[in-house]
Amino acid sequence: MRRLELTGLEGLGEVVRGNSVGQLIHQACSRLGISLVEGDILVVAHKIVSKAEGRVSRLDEIEPSAQAVELSGPLNKDPRLLEVILGESRRIIKMGGGTIIVETHHGFICANAGVDLSNVGLGHVALLPQEPDRSAEEIREEVRQLSGVATGVIVSDSFGRPWRLGTTDVALGVAGLKPLRDDRGKNDGYNYELRAAVTAVADEIASAASLIMGKRNRVPVVLVRGCDVELEKGSARELLRPEEEDLFRKF
Amino acid sequence: MRRLELTGLEGLGEVVRGNSVGQLIHQACSRLGISLVEGDILVVAHKIVSKAEGRVSRLDEIEPSAQAVELSGPLNKDPRLLEVILGESRRIIKMGGGTIIVETHHGFICANAGVDLSNVGLGHVALLPQEPDRSAEEIREEVRQLSGVATGVIVSDSFGRPWRLGTTDVALGVAGLKPLRDDRGKNDGYNYELRAAVTAVADEIASAASLIMGKRNRVPVVLVRGCDVELEKGSARELLRPEEEDLFRKF
């Protein structure tokens, strides 16, 4: 029987700048009696990665630009928050109804450039990691050194999407796994050659982990065991649809 | 420790019109030695639901309309397939690069109105179930009668999305669970009142199940155990963003 098992690694405590996330994960595994094995994937909420990397700003230290002040009225947002959002953005994709959708410097298209006030302490905002693939690779390397096991690592965040309500978690950074599974050209068992058969497995793994993380559970890391993915070098950039192939970026 | 366990129910065999999907699931559980328990959620690939409900068309019985013939050139698609797609659509949202994104009669926005040539037999296409919530409710009721346990049921499909490559599975129909978890107004543990905190748990559960289903595994049903969702009456329509709140529908 095909099985998939997800376990929340709780009790990591408050993560602060300079912490080694890999070490915290290793300690949590020891405390919970979990031995990592080949093929395990660790999904890490970006929030603790951002905290460990110092990607947290204090709002009262932000001086909003004229553009941030101008947008703050129609968007009904704190101009200092908007200043941080604009600083993280390559361009604005769409605004309306109090929502600002941007393309971040990484190439992610999401609300607020991923800048977030929750789970970070009052008066503070967390930014996305600067290079989430590198963050994932560092965690993978730390865990490998401490445990001797090379796991896959996904750094995740909750993104909204057009047309459907509610967020689902996606992969911002990956290490040690291919984020897409491409079944095109393979046979479906009915002698039909599959065409539209590229699956965003890293995003699906992030979404699965989100079911345990929640927003209020303080479970920032989830161990996923039994996942049938290619454990090779990969990058979350592979998940980004090139602009010229995107029907919903050009207006 | 928070845990989530997913098990693929394989060996359902070829599903044909008139089959009771609930009965097939019950038989698979018996054969695999699985006893359902309260809180279990069954994720069912829409493909077998469509087959059981007779939502399969033979392409050689389709007479394409003038519009289908006209679109077939630029989209590089079989005009008969396009005829089926247009018949399932309320309107076309966007076309380009060989892709047609429509709004289905249900209100789903997706490529090809969910009409699909894979895993259905050469020369055939599977359509989405006509009322996926009702399909889910029927499966729930069949399973409940046979096993005595009221499970949650999700009928799923793989949808593409703007901006990111690869499909992720989403919920087309639900029964016995709330598809959205709304944490707005609750405290994040840092005395911050959560705002953007509505999670599409049904879509995340569908995505998690997709990791086991795959496109070629012939595992059309996945049992999800340990999921922290509200087991109340719900509808997948709750997942549809109202048009007037959607930044990416009006052009």
DSSP codes joined into one string, B172-214: EEEESS-S-EE-TTSB-SSSPBP-S-EE-HHHHHHHHHHHHHT
Over residues B68-95, mean pLDDT: 96
CB contact under 8 A, B191 and A99: no
Q: How far is A120 from chain B (nearest CA, A)?
A: 7
Q: Is B185 left (phi over 0), alpha (psi -120 to 50) or beta?
A: left
Length of chain A: 251
Phi and psi (nearest 5°) for A250?
Answer: -85, 130
Q: Number of residue pairs across A and B with CB atoms under 8 Å?
A: 269
CB contact under 8 A, B4 and A6: yes
Residue A14 pLDDT greater than 50, yes or no: yes
Residue B218 pLDDT greater than 70, yes or no: yes
For residue A152, the surrounding DSSP H or E stretch is: strand A152-159
The reported pLDDT for the residue numbered B250 is: 64
Q: How does pLDDT run across B16-52, given as a tens digit for each residue?
A: 999 999 999 999 999 999 999 999 999 999 999 999 9
Residue B250: both structure tokens together: 């009006």
Q: How does pLDDT run across A112-151, given as a tens digit for each residue?
A: 999 999 888 889 999 999 999 999 999 999 999 999 999 9
Please say whether the beta carbons of B157 and B127 come within 8 A. no
Residue B227 in contact with partner chain A when CB distance is under 8 A:
yes
In this structure, of A134-138, A246-250, B31-35, B203-207, the range with the lowest mean pLDDT score is A246-250
CB contact under 8 A, A164 and B239: yes
The amino acid at A187: N
Query: Where does residue A151 rank: exposed (0-12), middle (13-18), buried (19+ CB within 10 A)?
Result: buried
* Residue in chain A lying closest to B244 (CA): A97
C-alpha span between A210 and B177 (Å, rounded): 17
Over residues A182-190, mean pLDDT: 86
- Is residue A251 very low, low, confident or very high in pLDDT (cuts 50, 70, 90)? very low
Residue A165 pLDDT greater than 80, yes or no: yes
In this structure, of A60-74, A84-98, B48-62, B189-203, the range with the lowest mean pLDDT score is B189-203
Nearest beta carbon to residue A247 from set B101, B118, B187: B101
The reported pLDDT for the residue numbered A217 is: 81
Interface of B with A in 186-225 (CB under 8 A): 186-192, 194-201, 203-205, 207-208, 210-212, 214-219
The reported pLDDT for the residue numbered B189 is: 80
Alpha helices by DSSP H, listed for A177-250, are: 201-213
CB contact under 8 A, B2 and A179: no
For residue A50, the surrounding DSSP H or E stretch is: helix A46-52
Residue B167 in contact with partner chain A when CB distance is under 8 A:
yes
Interface predicted TM-score of the whole assembly (ipTM), two decimals: 0.97
Residue A247 in contact with partner chain B when CB distance is under 8 A:
yes
- Is residue A250 very low, low, confident or very high in pLDDT (cuts 50, 70, 90)? low
Q: How far is B205 from chain A (nearest CA, A)?
A: 6
Residue A26: both structure tokens together: 């290793």
Residue B33 CB neighbour total at 10 angstroms: 7
- Tell me the CB-side half-sphere exposure of residue A38, using CA atoms within 13 A: 3
Please say whether the beta carbons of B210 and B169 come within 8 A. yes
Name all domains of chain A by residue range, CATH numbers in brackets: 1-26+47-56+179-238 (3.30.1330.100), 57-124 (3.90.1660.10)
The amino acid at B147: S
Q: How does pLDDT run across A59-89, given as a tens digit for each residue?
A: 999 999 999 999 999 999 999 999 999 999 9
DSSP B116: B
- Tell me the CB-side half-sphere exposure of residue B34, using CA atoms within 13 A: 25
The reported pLDDT for the residue numbered B251 is: 47
Spatial CA neighbour of A14 closest among A40, A44, A51: A51
Nearest beta carbon to residue B168 from set A7, A207, A217: A207
Residues from chain B that touch A58, judged by Cβ atoms under 8 A, are none
- A-interface mutation test, from B56, B168, B237, most A Cβ less than 10 A away: B168
Spatial CA neighbour of A119 closest among A154, A158, A86: A158
Task: Give residues with Cβ within 8 angstroms of A105, minimum separation 6.
Answer: A88, A89, A90
